[in-house]
């Protein structure tokens, strides 16, 4: 009797882990499928821009296009939400290679490094101040 219970428990355990594995596989398949969909939207947007020679980055059109497709209910949020969350969470890794490439350009920036940094910090903080101050005023008077 005791042995039978033990066998039952063990087989239940195996069944549970098999179940878990298959649901993980399904989640992975969903992610890949959604990635493919977002990729297709982005690729089409980029193709349109390069065909029409618009002076706009294709990736900005991809962003707008996705928003428009979702708003028009052509694409539903549940068709893309997992892949979107994944991509946005790990956005930084995609431009690490570019940031590494700056080492090769160091020669061009080095003579202007201090001035560049001064302009960058000053204008960024002026921008933060102007945006925050205006937003707060407009919301109070809304």
Name which of 14 and 47 has its Cβ closer to other proteins. 47
Closest to other proteins by CB, 4 vs 78, is 78
Kindly provide the b/e burial profile for residues 101-124, where b requires at least 16 CB atoms within 10 angstroms of the residue's own CB: eeeeeeeeeeeeeeeeeeeeeeee
Q: What span, in angstroms and rounded, lies between the C-alpha atoms of 90 and 78?
A: 20
Q: How far is the CB of 141 from other proteins (least distance, A)?
A: 9
Nearer to other proteins by Cβ, of 21 and 29: the residue is: 29
- How many Å apart are CA 103 and CA 91, to the nearest integer? 21
Distance separating alpha carbons of residues 84 and 21, to the nearest angstrom:
23
In the complex with other proteins, the residue whose CB is nearer, 27 or 130, is 130
Q: Contact at 8 Å (CB) between 59 and 43?
A: no
Minimum distance, C-beta of residue 79 to other proteins, in the bound complex (Å): 10
CB of 107 to other proteins, least distance (A): 12
Least CB distance from residue 23 to other proteins, whole Å? Answer: 24
Query: What's the token pair of residue 24?
Result: 């993980």
């Amino acid at each position: 009797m005791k042995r039978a219970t033990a066998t039952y428990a063990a087989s239940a355990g195996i069944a549970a882990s098999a179940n878990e594995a298959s649901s993980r596989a399904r989640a992975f398949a969903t992610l890949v499928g959604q990635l493919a969909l977002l990729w297709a939207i982005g690729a089409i947007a980029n193709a349109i821009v390069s065909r029409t020679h618009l002076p706009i980055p294709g990736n900005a059109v991809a962003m707008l296009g996705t928003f428009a497709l979702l708003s028009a209910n052509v694409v539903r949020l549940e068709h893309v939400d997992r892949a979107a969350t994944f991509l946005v969470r790990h956005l930084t890794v995609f431009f690490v290679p570019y940031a590494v490439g700056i080492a090769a350009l160091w020669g061009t920036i080095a003579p202007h490094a201090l001035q560049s940094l001064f302009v960058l910090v000053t204008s960024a903080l002026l921008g933060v101040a102007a945006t925050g101050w205006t937003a707060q005023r407009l919301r109070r008077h809304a």
